[in-house]
Chain A
Amino acid sequence: MSGLALQNVVKEFGAFRAVNNVDLTVPHGTFVCMLGPSGCGKTTLLRMIAGLDLPTGGAIRLDGEDITRVPTHKRNLGMVFQSLALFPHLTVGENIAYPLRIRGVAKEEQKKRVDELLAMIHLSGYADRPVAKLSGGQRQRVAIARALSISPKLFLLDEPLSALDAKLREAMQVELRQLQQKLGITTIVVTHDQREAMTMADTVVVMSGGEIRQAASPIEIYRRPADSFVADFIGQTNLLEVQADSAGRAEVLGHVVPGLSLPAGSNKGTLSVRPEDVHLTAPGAGSLTGKVTFVRDLGGTIETFVDIAGHQIVAVSTPRARPDVSVGQEVGIALTPDVCVVLKK
């Protein structure tokens, strides 16, 4: 099989299990984002793919070949570190040429390749600059070009954009995604920024506690989260308890929601509804009724905080559909089954 496969990968640091039985298949040319809170094992997993850490158990295969014990320098990969790790004693051109120099590529060929890569990252003519003289975004691009200079089989990035300011980061996300599509290279990015993952990835892998919670396309993760952790971690959501009433119908906060079904074989669940799917109605007209506690008008979006029997629900609307509500007012909330996801407890 072409691509990367992780099979039952385990990493233990003493008694602590940083990565627990991870199984993942990354087809050739896919852009994968590993997403999760800090300490979830995503960086450890990336380091094992790179060969910088050895797994305690399991196997890592690249294009069918077992590379679990292959040393890092023989894996032919490109990696961008969080600190970028550009070599301070080398110029921009020398940094990019480093993997070629190590492999004994002829000088003229090195120069040709460096010029190609510099053009690709829009830094033509920067070859002789010292890396210390570059701006944050330029250094970022040089680190990417250096990792790509041997056209690696695998492109790994560890929180690559975290050092950049918000605006530049957004621009670089788009640039990185376009570059990856152009080159068709299998890419794995570790990030804790879900916006970044949604922007770039074909597949988002949500991790927590050393395990994969869900691996799917960004929109599927958003629309059909596997569990409440994923639902809460990706974007904003409202989580409510769902129970079966005596007749077996789904009941939310004491109100039956018609058309809503509970997970098979369970009489309890968690309902997730995205703020943009919460519709405010006149009191009594929706499924639930609550009191407005706060209105945050951000110009582009309006967030309305509604308290229903001690549970807070957030509704987001656009200025066009501005709800005519004020703090203290009673409102109804319409829950339609098509926008609600019931998750297993």
Chain B
Amino acid sequence: MRREPPQTLGDYLPLLFPAAMLTIFFVVPFGTMIAVSFFQRQQGGFYTPAFVFDNYARFLSVFFGGVLGFSLMLAVIVAICCVMLALPFTYMLTRMARKVQVVWLVALLSILSLSEVIIGFAWSTLFSRTAGITNILVALGIMEQAKALTPSFGAVLTGMVYQAFPYTVLVLFPALVRLDPTLTEAARTLGASPLKAFFTVVVPALRNTITATLIMVFIFALGSYLLPQLLGRPQHWTLSVLITDQAIYQSNMPFAAAMAVFLVLVTLGLVALTVIAGRKGEAA
């Protein structure tokens, strides 16, 4: 089918609605946020229009830098864990019978229907001393005494990986289904063990998909602010938690806006770097 570029004003008409929605619900609020980030804060929760860099300057401290670094690191670890778990899982899932696939996918979709709050409280119960999984280990004689596993970094990581895992599987699934199964068989006839075939054929053939999935989970994990509070200590709080804190509890809108803008810029920068690195790797 040949596609003609739009000629008259009428041809652009179907674009008008999405364009308007995008402007009203994304461009305007985001613009407002950028503007507010340069405003002057007033004591008592108000701010006056101005153009000052105070908010950004305040952000450039060891404390906030540390929080930003931790947030990025946490998101990267969550993304890597999710892909490392979901890739072999999804690969095996695509090789199963259709019926089994449907059961698994429905189960994963049902996790998506859970809110972050429920996931957080469920895991904090599972990790607790009184009713947690350590009691099972004690009953099995593996552990001496039941103990609390939360709050800790491990608990935050588990909760976030659990939350992002279904998304990861759903993003990887179509690409893995489309992957020609004879590629692995060919690798096996050519002398690769099943495990070697997975790493020398399946993973490299899906490189672009894996990169895209890593970016998606990374961004998804970056926005998480409930789980770190429910399952972690204050040092495990992410920048999103601080933004919420500044915006809602400290009533410092300009500073919260500045942090949010900064987070968006850093995220975009990292994604751009990943994409460029991916392109370079392709050319080489």
Give the interface of A toward B (CB within 8 A): 50-52, 71-73, 75-79, 81-83, 85, 87-90, 98-99, 101-103, 146-147, 150, 156
Q: Complex Cα distance A150/B192, Å? A: 13
Once the chains bind, are A52 and B189 in contact (CB under 8 Å)? yes
What is the minimal beta-carbon distance from A331 to any residue of chain B, in angstroms?
A: 53
Stretch from B57-65, B135-143, B199-207 contacting the other chain: B199-207
Once the chains bind, are A146 and B190 in contact (CB under 8 Å)? yes
Q: Complex Cα distance A98/B205, Å? A: 14
Interface core residue of A81, A83, A87, A156 (most chain B CB under 10 Å): A87
Q: Which residue of A lies closest to B282 (CB)?
A: A89
Q: Which residue of A lies closest to B206 (CB)?
A: A89
Q: Complex Cα distance A146/B192, Å? A: 13
Measured between beta carbons, the chain B residues less than 8 angstroms from A87 are: 183, 186-187, 201, 204-205
Q: Complex Cα distance A82/B189, Å? A: 14
Once the chains bind, are A83 and B182 in contact (CB under 8 Å)? yes
Within the complex, which residue of B182, B190, B204, B205 is in contact with A102, where a contact is CB–CB below 8 Å?
Answer: B190
Once the chains bind, are A98 and B180 in contact (CB under 8 Å)? no
Asked if B158 is an interface residue, CB under 8 A from chain A, the answer is no
Once the chains bind, are A77 and B207 in contact (CB under 8 Å)? no
What is the minimal beta-carbon distance from B95 to any residue of chain A, in angstroms?
A: 13
Once the chains bind, are B188 and A52 in contact (CB under 8 Å)? yes
Asked if B196 is an interface residue, CB under 8 A from chain A, the answer is yes
Once the chains bind, are B186 and A81 in contact (CB under 8 Å)? yes
Once the chains bind, are B188 and A102 in contact (CB under 8 Å)? no
What is the minimal beta-carbon distance from B204 to any residue of chain A, in angstroms?
A: 4
Q: Complex Cα distance A174/B191, Å? A: 28
Q: Complex Cα distance A82/B193, Å? A: 21
19 interchain pairs (CB within 8 A)?
Answer: A52-B188, A72-B189, A73-B189, A73-B193, A73-B194, A77-B189, A79-B186, A79-B190, A81-B182, A83-B180, A85-B180, A85-B183, A85-B186, A87-B204, A87-B205, A89-B207, A102-B196, A103-B191, A150-B191
Once the chains bind, are A72 and B200 in contact (CB under 8 Å)? no
Asked if B185 is an interface residue, CB under 8 A from chain A, the answer is yes
Measured between beta carbons, the chain B residues less than 8 angstroms from A79 are: 186, 189-190
Measured between beta carbons, the chain A residues less than 8 angstroms from B191 are: 73, 76, 99, 102-103, 150
Once the chains bind, are B189 and A50 in contact (CB under 8 Å)? yes
What is the minimal beta-carbon distance from A303 to any residue of chain B, in angstroms?
A: 40
Within the complex, which residue of B190, B200, B201 is in contact with A78, where a contact is CB–CB below 8 Å?
Answer: B190
Q: Which residue of B lies closest to A143 (CB)?
A: B186
What is the minimal beta-carbon distance from A248 to any residue of chain B, in angstroms?
A: 56
